[in-house]
Structure 1
Amino acid sequence: MKKAIFTGLLTAFTLFLQAQQKPNVVFILADDMGYGDLGVYGQRLIETPNIDRLAADGMRFTQFYAGTSVCAPSRASLMTGLHTGHSPIRGNYEIKPEGQLPLPDATFTMPEMFKKAGYVTGCFGKWGMGFPGSEGDPIKQGIDQFYGYNCQRQSHNFFPDHLWDNEKRVELNNTATQQNDYAPEMIQQRAMSFMEANQSKPFFMYLSYTLPHAALQLPDGDPSLEYYKKKFNEQPKAVKKEWDGKGYQPQAYPRAAYAAMVSRLDNYVGAVVAKLKKLGLDKNTLIVFTSDNGPHREGGNDPEFFNSSAGFKGIKRQLTEGGIREPMIITWPGKIKRGQVSDHIGAFWDFLPTFSALSGQPGPPQTDGLSILPTLLKKGKQQQHPFLYWEFHEDGGRQAVRMGKWKAIKEQVIRNPNAQVKLYDLNIDPQETNDLSATYPNIAKQAVEIMQREHVEHKDFPFIPKK
């Protein structure tokens, strides 16, 4: 009897060790956080000690880019390994009453790849790539456990009337005037439970936090809000009338509120790292921290006050550096050396091939990405992108290309596909102020050719129809 018990325990322990040979992956995605919003990227007003510590413990990238400059298409690039000229979602296409245009059923996504590699998968936060019950619903795109906002539009309210627990709608005790259940806190607690429940299995956890997106909302008595009110000596702005639940809730202390939301996000990241250590999983867990696009100005936010774009030109919805260049930090104790800074040029579509190489699972048949594992592990030769390409379908349409030190941008391309391209040398002009297209016409022409070639027209997101 004792021998049988011992044999059973030994077998269970062996299976545990085998499972944990595969590294867990925790992918943390901030919402509308600028390149300059973290201390380690130059922020001077907002304190982010936990995320800064991640950078000290791993590798910080200085030239890494989002999928594009707004939420849904940027996240679709992340999930599919395709840039916005090829991906199935290229804009914030809203579905009423709730949700966005879904990822097609045939799409091969990052969570599906992890599931095939034997991982348990969870998403906690915002999805925004398929309305409830659609083919793009997270649980139909490789997610085992989802808790949070299905709809990115509804995530503009941090005190919503409901969230989703897989296919179950969870009613919350919130109205426009009675705010009791703070969604980010509920989402954080479910993420912590997911790690504990799956500590004996390899897991992929996609933490798609909604912080610090507008509206600028926090629970009553939030200590960070009070701290930043005093630190900034911020005087309250007049709120003209009681909020009716439509649009962004007005905030009397927008600067303090934004800073407090970033600090709350930083605290959540610190809690995740602490939980991994408590469970003994930290040494076998790769953590990524980044953001889906540049800083926002909605809801009273003031990105100039915080220098959220770190001196780069532009914010959310623009394809200048401030709209798409993002903080990006990766840690993996014992595998990625501490305190490294990389100027490797990469983008969201690199993550799927990177995780494919990490897990040993074949990636999608088509990808625009390159694995950055050689850069992370300092093993083998790192392939370089000959170019990166983005498009943006609002404000008249924009296209951008990065080729080494060169950055090219076209504006108003929906109305005029032959609009003049502007060309910048980012090595000497990272603020994109001096157009060199007339000086280097051959480089400008090469960029235009890439724009024309890389955009493939999509029936749901018409952009530049071929004549």
Structure 2
Amino acid sequence: MTRRLILVFITCLLVMRTELHAALDRPKLQIINGTPQVVDVFWINEKGERVPNGSVPPGKHTIISTTLGHRFAIVGREDQKESLVTAEVRVQAFRVGGLPAFYTQQASAGGFPVVASARVNPYALKEAVYIIDMMLSKRPDVRAAMVKSGARLSILAHNEFTCDQPEWAWLADEPVEGHEGIPTRDFRDARARGMGGSLTDPYCSCAEENLLACEGDPYSTENILIHELAHNIHLRGMSNVDATFDPRVKACYDTAMKAGLWKGKYASVNHHEYFAEGVQSWFDNNRENDHDHNHVNTRAELLDYDPGLAALCREVFGDTVLKYTKPQTRLTGHLEGYDPKQAPKFVWPPHLKKARELIRAKARARSDAATKAHETKNLVGWTLHISPKTDPAALNKALPLLQAQLEEIMRVVPAQAVIELQKVPLWINPEYPKVPPRAEYHPGAGWLKDNGRDPAMAKGVEFTNVRTFEAETRRMPNFALHELAHAFHDRVLGFEHPQIEAAYQKAKSAGLYDRLQRQDSEGRKRLERAYAMTNAKEYFAECSEAFFTKNDFYPFTQDELQKHDPEMFELLTKLWGTSKAKVVSALAEKNAAKAAATLPNILLILADDLGYGDVRCYNADAKVPTPNIDRLAGDGMRFTDAHSPATVCTPSRYSLMTGQMAFRVPNGGTVFTGAGGPSLIAPGKLTLPGMLKQQGYATAAFGKWHVGLTFRDVEGKPIHAGGLEAIRRIDFSRRIEGGPLDHGFDRFFGTACCPTTDWLYAFIDGDRIPTPPTSPLDRSTLPKHPYANDCRQGLIAPDFPMEEVDLVFLKKSREFIAQHARTSPKQPFFLYHATQAVHLPSFAAPEFQGKSKAGPHGDFIAEFDHIIGELMRELDQHGLADNTLVILSSDNGPEMASVVHMRTDHAHDGAKPWRGIKRDAWEGGHRVPFIVRWPGKVKVGTTSDQTLCLTDILATVAAITGTELPHDAAEDSFNLLPALEGTATAPIRPYLLTQAFAGQRTLSIRRGNWKYIAHRGSGGNNYDKGELKPFALPDTDPEAPAQLYDLATDPGETTNLYSKKPEIVKELQALLEQSKATGRSRP
């Protein structure tokens, strides 16, 4: 019998509500039978079973009440003379004209419809049109075929999800195989922020936040429209223009899979995704190396890796360079008037975030399963793939050596460069027949395929030398750096980098490397032509080894490289993003012996919010005894005119570490919370610990960091925000970037921000959080008193003791001192101990509660004093006190709540005798205790009135260690050594800068006793209302735009002389502007 197509007409009669999001009530499916046969109608349930739903005689029709997304089969009767083909329909929402009422905005890309709801920013439609026109500029025939087939693009608003759109509402009821643990709708909504359509669904979609690059975009490293439109071009365009296209894509896909390409990546799912992923790379717009995608992010990489797929892309899109860039880079034309700062933030709702995490876990499992020929593990931040065929005994010896090399790289290479290097996958394989064992970087897939190796290793480093690893390490102490330098050259700088090529040719012409010493694994040396002269690539890698660690050819070390090839030394300084003072490597080794013989240990203790008047040796009326601090002052020198560079935490700590005022750098007025960052310290910036490390010091930090760092989420995207949602996004298996270990410290144990205040209640050990937070902070279990109102309701780790954090830090510092004395007695150390005390909440440990008789905050001050005593006793116990320089200070003045309540309840004034408190520009906000003990160098029981700032510690320590400061470092740091030695006869500082709560907008400058505050009011706290109103002073010059005080006659800053001393105002204004313009106060 012949087979005939059923001729039916199907319409959807909808009852609409009138809200913006037109929800649909019981749509009605009308089936008109235009055939001479009786047809049966079946509803297809979730199991795929057909459930009878009536029949339609010839020439008749029926109307069925149904639900969006439901499917029906229309089948000819088996007993009829002619067997009819089964037709299947899906209920979708359309109104007159074919467009759902959900959409209220329309645009056209050369006839291709772009639609969106009223929630979507109109600029998103304009951007979509721009991208569609860009992609289809060479193919009007393909665009016409897509339009003719009914295709269109719909844009999701940042707060809409897949099943909200009428075209995809049916997916909410469509079963999902392999993800049974996730509710169906949650899976569909969390799975993606765009759809590509199919042979039966002509529609594609993308999301507003991705088109306009809004904050929180989960696909920020790529453009989803390019991917989803590629599906539509494939299935609705090219397949209609050229019937052979889809089979050819499938054949190309099969060839690629057989060759092992795209193993475990999203491109391997099917030939549709294979093409769409290739299109993204063709437009230089694929994401970073992750479980969904490999290294093939650009057109050049696609041409090298999969020439067949590249040829298909060229056929469709042509060879014109059409590189997509984010909209923020081109705010003209169709984007003129768009303000990215006003864009909304995308946030996954909690239920979808959970679903997405499960989906991403499946993706990782898929990727890992596909590469099961190798065991995958994380080695100090690098992804390591280990072949099971590798000799286990040799592997066990090699892995610790490889880890040591990688850890050295993390210490000596600038943090931003390390981030790039950690993107390079590492592979360990057995030796190949007739090929010497080696380590080698593979820049492309072509050579790998030609030589029968796995093309997945492209852009990675392969080690086949595990058997000879130990001997190779003796010859080349860090050959991993050599290969990773190749990767940096290729992936970051580009192998055709003109400056590297020019430096190589110049060195070659000059014969610099024609006959030099080479050292073998036994330490024997001989003269030969350096390997660096092989080509520009090896020149860069060999010199990078010497620059950071030690090479097997002369120049072996950084200082030798600087003397032998100064031009390449300067170029490496620039290209690696470092500075001469930052590089440690061999310089630290060279200086270690000298340091042990002549340099002191340094213990720097930084209190948090400890006021000038909180300590008895500064305020005889202080109600809390501080015997240990007083004893320290009696054993050394007490400074009475010492200042924090800022009146809040983060900028003061930045300035302490770098010797530079924080207002001079981006975000320099920021106070980080939670996962705040990135680090204010730029990669390569000279730091106090980095400088000391260069001089041979062991460096350690315990306590509060609070200068910013970078956490990453499960997709590797950086998190730089406070708040509970940011903490929930952290992937705690990843290395923390930009923290103390990246800025000169060998050892760190502490917290990201304020330990008992800021969202993330967990300890960082090194560059990871070994015990992540697992539950919300239960504030009902914490003490209740006026000094306990500052705990944000974040997440807490099970090992984080809210009332004993400082005792944990104390234990770590004592252990460090003891271990160092035991294992490295000849090496000097720098220990930075940054306490939680006495920052609110005032949670003293149980043994100190009630001890001070001055309330909970008094107890906290008493605990801090105890910590000072314990650290001094630890030094004494190990015989280190006589050769240890101890510095104690605070990051700013006392906190408002502590001052107000301590004044009222206990007659204790933490800011006495100054006006102002933490955040304020007045003296109480930044004049702090500063005590120095250095037996044999600093005269005991002395007092100094030298004006100083915490920034001065760096230059002072540089003078003590004999370090010459480069011009681009410690810009606001002055050498106080003459004051410490008692030889200073004049002021050391020409003037003093401070910044209040609002950073650049609240600066002050002081020269001598004249202090100019470049704004009105406190610059921080509000004295017009609330608890501070009783402490407000009259405004003595209400018309003045700024303030001027003579601290010699008015230390309390009570009388504004701005209008009476215009000549002094003018001088100080000019000096402040000059300092801002030159970027420094140090000559």
Question: Normalising to structure 1: TM-score of the pair?
Answer: 0.81
Change (3 A) 1:99 1:193: farther
Q: Distance in 2 between matches of 1:277 and 1:115?
A: 24
Q: Distance in 2 between matches of 1:109 and 1:223?
A: 37
Q: Distance in 1 between matches of 2:964 and 2:928?
A: 27
Q: Distance in 2 between matches of 1:454 and 1:280?
A: 45
* Corresponding letter in the other structure for 2:608: D
Are the counterparts in 2 of residues 88 and 104 from structure 1 also a CA contact under 8 Å? Answer: no
Change (3 A) 1:92 1:299: farther
Partner of 1:226, secondary structure, is: coil
Q: Which residue of 2 aligns with 1:7?
A: none
Change (3 A) 1:443 1:294: same
**5 Å matches for 1:292-441?**
292-298=891-897, 302-304=901-903, 305-365=907-967, 366=969, 367-379=971-983, 384-394=988-998, 397-411=1001-1015, 420-441=1041-1062
* Corresponding letter in the other structure for 1:37: D
Q: Distance in 2 between matches of 1:432 and 1:64?
A: 17
Q: Which residue of 2 aligns with 1:442?
A: 1063
Q: Distance in 2 between matches of 1:422 and 1:178?
A: 46
User: Percent of counterpart pairs with the same letter?
Assistant: 31
Q: Distance in 1 between matches of 2:736 and 2:594?
A: 37
* Corresponding letter in the other structure for 2:1008: G
Q: Residue 206 of structure 1: which of 832, 854, 865 is its match? A: 832
Larger deviation: 176-185 or 190-199? Answer: 176-185
Partner of 1:280, secondary structure, is: coil
C-alpha offsets along residues 248-276 of structure 1, whole Å, 9 cap, x if unaligned? xxxxxxxx111111111110110010110
Cα distance, 1:67 vs structure 2 = 1.1
Q: Which has the larger radius of gyration?
A: 2
Pairs aligned (count):
412
Q: Distance in 1 between matches of 2:953 and 2:612?
A: 19
Q: Distance in 2 between matches of 1:163 and 1:331?
A: 30
* Corresponding letter in the other structure for 1:31: D
Partner of 1:192, secondary structure, is: helix
Q: Distance in 2 between matches of 1:207 and 1:92?
A: 22
Question: Normalising to structure 2: TM-score of the pair?
Answer: 0.36
Partner of 1:146, secondary structure, is: strand
Change (3 A) 1:65 1:317: same
Change (3 A) 1:457 1:385: closer
Larger deviation: 85-94 or 116-125? Answer: 85-94
Q: Distance in 2 between matches of 1:203 and 1:384?
A: 27
Q: Which residue of 1 aligns with 2:808?
A: 186
Q: Which residue of 1 aligns with 2:56?
A: none
Q: Determine if the alignment matches structure 1 residue 215 to structure 2 residue 841.
A: yes
Are the counterparts in 1 of residues 676 and 708 from structure 2 also a CA contact under 8 Å? Answer: no
Change (3 A) 1:456 1:136: farther
Q: Distance in 2 between matches of 1:358 and 1:395?
A: 31
Q: Determine if the alignment matches structure 1 residue 139 to structure 2 residue 139.
A: no
**5 Å matches for 1:222-261?**
222-228=846-852, 231-232=853-854, 256-261=855-860
* Corresponding letter in the other structure for 1:145: R
Cα distance, 1:456 vs structure 2 = 5.3
* Corresponding letter in the other structure for 1:156: T
Q: Which residue of 2 aligns with 1:453?
A: 1074
* Corresponding letter in the other structure for 1:443: I
Change (3 A) 1:93 1:341: closer
Q: Which residue of 2 aligns with 1:29?
A: 606
Change (3 A) 1:293 1:170: same
Looking at both structures, which has the greater relative contact order when contacts are Cα pairs under 8 Å and sequence separation is at least 6? 1
Q: Distance in 1 between matches of 2:636 and 2:667?
A: 32
**Coordinate RMSD, CA, aligned:** 2.8
Q: Determine if the alignment matches structure 1 residue 265 to structure 2 residue 864.
A: yes
Q: Residue 654 of structure 2: which of 76, 87, 91 is its match? A: 76
Change (3 A) 1:291 1:77: same
Larger deviation: 175-184 or 267-276? Answer: 175-184
Q: Residue 197 of structure 1: which of 801, 819, 823 is its match? A: 819
Cα distance, 1:97 vs structure 2 = 3.9
Are the counterparts in 1 of residues 885 and 932 from structure 2 also a CA contact under 8 Å? Answer: yes
Q: Residue 38 of structure 1: which of 607, 615, 635 is its match? A: 615
Q: Which residue of 2 aligns with 1:282?
A: 881
* Corresponding letter in the other structure for 2:964: P
* Corresponding letter in the other structure for 1:128: H
Cα distance, 1:299 vs structure 2 = 7.5
Are the counterparts in 1 of residues 642 and 930 from structure 2 also a CA contact under 8 Å? Answer: yes
Partner of 1:306, secondary structure, is: coil
Partner of 2:850, secondary structure, is: helix
Q: Distance in 2 between matches of 1:17 and 1:81?
A: 25
Q: Which residue of 2 aligns with 1:57?
A: 635
Cα distance, 1:83 vs structure 2 = 2.2
Q: Distance in 2 between matches of 1:207 and 1:409?
A: 32
* Corresponding letter in the other structure for 1:162: A
Q: Distance in 1 between matches of 2:874 and 2:672?
A: 36
Cα distance, 1:392 vs structure 2 = 3.0
Cα distance, 1:72 vs structure 2 = 0.5
C-alpha offsets along residues 240-298 of structure 1, whole Å, 9 cap, x if unaligned? xxxxxxxxxxxxxxxx1111111111101100101101100000000001000000024
Are the counterparts in 2 of residues 406 and 426 from structure 1 also a CA contact under 8 Å? Answer: yes
* Corresponding letter in the other structure for 1:126: K
Change (3 A) 1:225 1:348: same
Partner of 2:925, secondary structure, is: helix
Larger deviation: 177-186 or 53-62? Answer: 177-186
C-alpha offsets along residues 406-453 of structure 1, whole Å, 9 cap, x if unaligned? 111122699xxx972211110110000111222221111111112223
Partner of 1:351, secondary structure, is: helix
Partner of 1:186, secondary structure, is: helix
Are the counterparts in 1 of residues 663 and 669 from structure 2 also a CA contact under 8 Å? Answer: no
* Corresponding letter in the other structure for 1:90: G
**Which runs of 5 or more structure 2 residues have no equivalent in the other structure?**
1-591, 711-734, 783-799, 1020-1038
* Corresponding letter in the other structure for 2:767: E
Q: Distance in 2 between matches of 1:364 and 1:419?
A: 41
Q: Determine if the alignment matches structure 1 residue 150 to structure 2 residue 770.
A: no
Q: Distance in 1 between matches of 2:834 and 2:816?
A: 14
Change (3 A) 1:185 1:402: same
* Corresponding letter in the other structure for 1:318: D
Q: Distance in 2 between matches of 1:192 and 1:286?
A: 16
Q: Distance in 1 between matches of 2:762 and 2:812?
A: 15
Larger helix proportion of the pair: 2
* Corresponding letter in the other structure for 1:288: I
* Corresponding letter in the other structure for 1:149: T
Are the counterparts in 2 of residues 76 and 87 from structure 1 also a CA contact under 8 Å? Answer: no
Partner of 2:813, secondary structure, is: helix
Q: Distance in 2 between matches of 1:118 and 1:282?
A: 20
Q: Distance in 2 between matches of 1:434 and 1:53?
A: 37
